Amino acid sequence: MRIKLTALAAGFVLAVGLPLAAMAGPTPGGADTDGDGVENAFDNCSTKVNTSQKDVDHDGCGDTCDGDFDQNGSAGGTDFATFKLGFGKTTGQPGYNASADMDCNGAIGGSDFALFKSEFGTTAGPSGISNAARSATACP
């Protein structure tokens, strides 16, 4: 009887455990290109330091490397207009746009402009996140 229970338990673990392991995604221990303490496979902005992994628009690309505020696939003129309207504003003020606060410090200023400028004319990212949480259009 004990052997049958052990065999049954092992069969259950194999039947349930293997499919779950296949869906688990990347495992810890990989490279961290930008040195922010978040491995590339889990990093929503793998080329720029962003320890908070903040992603205001929930497109899978971290705010630090996402100047595409209108979610059309690249940072362009309309995104610049959005940035310009929020420049100089802080959290809670009318006109503050959390997406334009790319350095996530509660104010839209010079460091945000430098980040936006580096993203202008490009697509958002890159993001190491490869699951359904990443928008293929807004964060390719």
Q: Where are the domains of the chain?
A: 31-119
Map the chain to HEC letters: CHHHHHHHHHHHHHHHHHHHHHHCCCCCCCCCCCCCCCCHHHCCCCCCCCCCCCCCCCCCCCHHHCCCCCCCCCECHHHHHHHHHHCCCECCCCCCCHHHCCCCCCECCHHHHHHHHHHECCCCCCCCCCCCCCCCCCCC
Residue 13 pLDDT = 46
Residue 84 pLDDT = 96
Residue 21 pLDDT = 46
Number of residues written out for the chain:
140
The label of the residue with tokens 């993001």 reads: 127
pLDDT values of the chain reduced to their tens digit, one per residue, 140 residues: 555 555 554 554 445 454 444 455 556 678 899 999 999 988 999 989 998 999 988 888 888 989 999 988 899 999 999 999 999 999 999 999 999 999 989 999 999 999 999 999 998 888 888 766 677 666 76
The label of the residue with tokens 């229970």 reads: 5
